Amino acid sequence: MSISKGITLITGSAQGIGRSIALRLARDGFDVALNDVPTKGPQLESVATEIKSLGRRVCVVPADVSVDEQVKGMVNDAVTNLGGLDVMIANAGVGTVTSLISSTVESWDHTLAVNARGPYLCYKYAAMQMIDQGHGGRIIGASSLVGKMAFPNNCAYGASKFAIRGLTQVAALELGKYGITVNAYAPGAIQTPLTEEMIMDESGKIDFETLIPDPVSRKWVMSVFENVPIKHIGQPEDIASIVSYLASKEAHFITGQCISVDGGICMS
């Protein structure tokens, strides 16, 4: 086994983007703590087996990221099993597609609990651990294209992903003095089990008609995607590659940023 580049914890790593990030960082030389909700235990164990085959240490730390004590325990378990924490990837999230008027308080609260409170708790407890260790670290969160551009039928999801940008900037300001950088990534349409369920048809294309019933709004959204410079749907590995860089020593002078990985839809 080669010398470890550090220890990383990735939430929502049973599938999709989180799984790809975990495997990429393991290939980069990191030891990995895998998190997802307890019901995804078999998928987590499968990812853990792949990481072991790469010659890296790995542990599984199931938790609901929206629950304070569970996140605290998740970080503690990762530290106990692997010996520290150098990179926190707050990737876990849920998706909802609903208009403002048709949305419910329950769906709003659930989406914000997982997508905004979850990263807040991950940032907080990771920062506390990294400060105690005294040698800096990397904190990276999951925003979205809809955290940079407003899209119809995304009231709760959009609000939660805009929140990540604010959280990331404030954390970057507060944690820089400890040598901790804080950044986020903003994926566009990425082919994952979540997006396939939310926005894609059986052929793997975005199902605009079902996604946006209102024809005026649909026409606008379709024009946005029709004019994207890079036409194909992104893959989880495209997100893993930017996370790999942000987690590296080379990214030490980048903080407070939310980097778009969307084929050129949002260029700011």
Q: What is the pLDDT of residues 171-205, one digit of tens each?
A: 999 999 999 999 999 999 888 777 766 667 777 67
- 3-class SS of residue 200: strand
CA 219 to chain centroid, in Å, comes to: 29
pTM of the model: 0.93
5 included as an active-site residue: no
Contacts of 175 by beta carbon, 8 Å cutoff, 6+ apart: 127, 130, 131, 139, 181, 182
| The total number of structural domains that make up the chain | 1
pLDDT for 39 beyond 70: yes
Full domain range(s) for residue 102: 6-191+235-261
Whether 100 is in a domain gets the answer yes
The residues, any chain, with a CB within 8 Å of residue 9's CB and separated by 6 or more, are 32, 33, 35, 61, 74, 75, 78, 85, 87, 88, 89, 126
Q: Is residue 227 part of a domain?
A: no
Q: Domain for residue 200, yes or no?
A: no
The answer as to whether 61 is a domain residue is yes
- Residue 23 pLDDT: 98
Per-residue pLDDT tens digits for 122-142: 999 999 999 999 999 999 999
Per-residue pLDDT at 196: 64
* Any domain includes 215: no
The overall average pLDDT reported for the chain is 93
96 lies in some domain: yes
Q: How many CB atoms lie within 10 A of CB 132?
A: 10
pLDDT tens, position by position, 147-159: 999 988 889 999 9
Q: What is the pLDDT of residues 214-261, one digit of tens each?
A: 777 788 778 888 888 998 889 999 999 999 999 999 999 999 999 999
Name 98's bridge partners.
154
User: Which pLDDT score is estimated for 248?
Assistant: 97
Q: Catalytic residue at 123? A: no
Catalytic residue among 161, 231, 245, 249: 161
pLDDT of 206 strictly over 90: no
If pLDDT is split at 50, 70 and 90, which confidence band does 211 have? confident
Q: Is 77 domain-assigned?
A: yes
Query: 117 lies in a domain?
Result: yes
CATH number at residue 51: 3.40.50.720
